[in-house]
Chain A
Amino acid sequence: MAEKLLHNYPYLIAALIFAVGCYIVLSHTNLMRKIIGVNVMETAVFLFLVAAGNVRGGKPPIIDLANPDVAYVNPLPSALILTGIVVSVSVTALSLALVVRIHRQYGTIDADEIAAIRSAEDV
């Protein structure tokens, strides 16, 4: 198994980064840091897919019309991840906007402090 893992190390690294990203989101109370964590998670998945698209000795999938016998990497994951990146930018944008608004309205971007303010409001 260790050998297999070593051979699949991009997958392994992607899995570990995914976990680290998830850990950042769950363990930190700072909202900005949570946003970074989500980004890390998403890029980890992207890394996983792009690595899966790689083919040993493959060239980037831009067809060389003069030279038909070139091996190319799989273009599909790249196309997917291009979409994925835009999605993650969008999510980041919205979460940043929310952080700005939370800061405007609560004066803090720490989840614990916000929770404290809210529970004080409820009483």
Chain B
Amino acid sequence: MFNNLPVLIVVMLLISAFLAPLFVRRFRRATQVVAGVVTWTAAGLSAWLLARVVQAGPIRFAVGGWPAPWGIEVTATPLSAFVVTVATVIVAIVMLGLPREQRDWPSNRAGWYITLLLLLTAAMAGMTFANDLFNLYVFFEVTALSSWGIVAAKTDRSAADASFKYLMLGAIGSSFVLFAIGITYVVTGYLNMSFASAFIAAAQLHPIIPWVIATFFLVGLALKAGLFPMHIWLPDAHSAAPTSASALLSGVVVKVYAVAMAKVFYGLFGGASLEAMGISEMVRLAAVLSILAGSLFALVQTDIKRLLAYSTVAQIGYVFLGFGLGGTVGVAAALYHILAHGLMKASLFLASGKVIELRGSRNIKGFAGAGRLLPLPMAIFTLAALSMVGLPLLAGFTTKWYLFNAGLEARLYWVPVVVILSSLLNAAYFLPIVWRIWFGQGEAEGAADRRVPGLIPLAVLLVAVGLVPNPLLNLLQQAAAWLIS
């Protein structure tokens, strides 16, 4: 029964998603509550799973009782359990704000939106647990379809346009990933990553084969994750979506793709051969370009949501950089950043969503004087922004510190330089907003309703993660060690 847990978490979310559109018309509030409860349950279960997995070692579960090369194998490792826990917790927290966000929506739209959120969560969990390449692909598509759907959830026309752009590039990405999976299957005869990797290690393959596989995976997943040259859909999509969707897309979804990439790369090839093929170099290069270009683009934005989206392009670069650097420290840094950035970006989007609602405009000028109207949300915005800048004792700094260590361990001395440069750029676009919030002259009216549900838990977690990173990092180093071995 316990071994079924990785599948059951996914199926539980799926079933609630199937039921949601049936009931939402009559019992709208109840549907929202049930969706929240289910997500929290999933979060709790995955946390339990994480605890068990850390204690007793990874779980390999053969769905339907068919052992690995024949059936589908699902693995709960410290890595996947951690990522699923992070994803479900952030989704659950963001979902706290749904009743408020959907006040003016028609019932059926609200239901479909909730359904898609649940499907998205389920698919992310499934994708992370999958150890079978084709299973990974199918979940990949559910994630993609549901995110395309929620991007278009608003009825204004830029949403449709953004969603279509996202869809086209995402579909190209999926095709690349499927092609890579196909080649892997044709070459090795296995879809299970463990078996395929054993085959690749044993067989004398022509060097172009693993190279093309890895490159196709990289192109496909980087397209989905919005790494620099392939990020063009991201600012449109993340800014056109409703606030909760933006928070999730920026905070969680892109990172799950990064994790998928890490799983596939380390699962199929292993760190040494990635380095030898030059794939690690490629990942690092893309990550650095992403970090710098994302920050530079963010610098010239006037639309807060686009600014945050470009900042996501930069921050996803950190995650890829960590994975590209390899080594326990680098991977642990990447995993830590997945959590930290998820919390930061979700808080930033939620808090700025409140300001957008208040001012009716997404221009960053709207932040002027917002600190007096919305003291608590804006304080949390400031906290998250400073964390982005990488002030010590906040979560962003820990990531930086571990990336430094990873870079120096890999003897890549430009890593600290790039990271420091990027945090300066972050400061350059976040601090003016912070100044505007507290000291800017803005309209003093409005803000009858100061509550932003979910913001306080996010902030508490963010502070906790920043102040006490040690236990978490020990856990993450275990997870990283498992991934690399």
Contact = CB atoms under 8 A, between A and B. Distances in A.
Q: In the complex, is A directly touching B at CB under 8 Å?
A: yes
Contacts of A18: 175, 179
A98 B185 contact: no
Interface string B175-208: 1001100100110000100000000000000000
A9 interface: no
A49 B185 contact: yes
A65 to B, nearest CB: 21
A42 B175 contact: yes
B216 to A, nearest CB: 10
Contact of B186 (A38, A49, A102, A118): A49
A91 B182 contact: no
A63 interface: no
A105 B144 CA distance: 24
Contact of B185 (A38, A52, A84): A52
Interface in A73-112: 76-77, 80, 83-84, 87, 90-91, 94-95, 98-99, 101-102, 105-106
Interface residues of B, number: 26
Interface centre among B158, B163, B164, B179 (most CB of A within 10 A): B164
Nearest to B175: A41
A22 B172 CA distance: 7
B178 A84 contact: yes
A23 B438 CA distance: 50
A95 B171 contact: yes
Interface centre among A22, A77, A87, A95 (most CB of B within 10 A): A87
A20 interface: no
Contact of B179 (A38, A48, A76, A106): A48
B211 to A, nearest CB: 15
Interface stretch (B21-29, B46-54, B145-153, B339-347): B145-153
A84 B164 CA distance: 21
A50 B43 CA distance: 39
A95 B187 CA distance: 33
B101 interface: no
Contacts of B161: 102, 106, 114, 118
Interface in B138-160: 138, 141, 144-145, 148-149, 152, 157-158, 160
B254 to A, nearest CB: 19
B401 interface: no
B145 A80 contact: no
B152 to A, nearest CB: 7
A90 B149 contact: no
A83 B137 CA distance: 10
A77 B185 contact: yes
B167 interface: yes
Contact of B158 (A38, A41, A42, A118): A118
B410 interface: no
B141 A91 contact: yes
B171 A102 contact: no
Contacts of B460: none
A45 B149 CA distance: 25
A94 B178 contact: no
B424 interface: no
B134 interface: yes
Interface string A18-46: 10011001000001001000100110110
Contacts of A49: 182, 185-186
Nearest to A91: B171
8 contacts: A18-B175, A18-B179, A49-B182, A52-B185, A80-B134, A80-B185, A94-B148, A118-B158
Interface of B: 134, 138, 141, 144-145, 148-149, 152, 157-158, 160-161, 163-164, 167-168, 171-172, 174-175, 178-179, 182, 185-186, 191
4 closest Cβ contacts across the A-B interface?
A: A105-B157, A52-B186, A41-B175, A38-B171
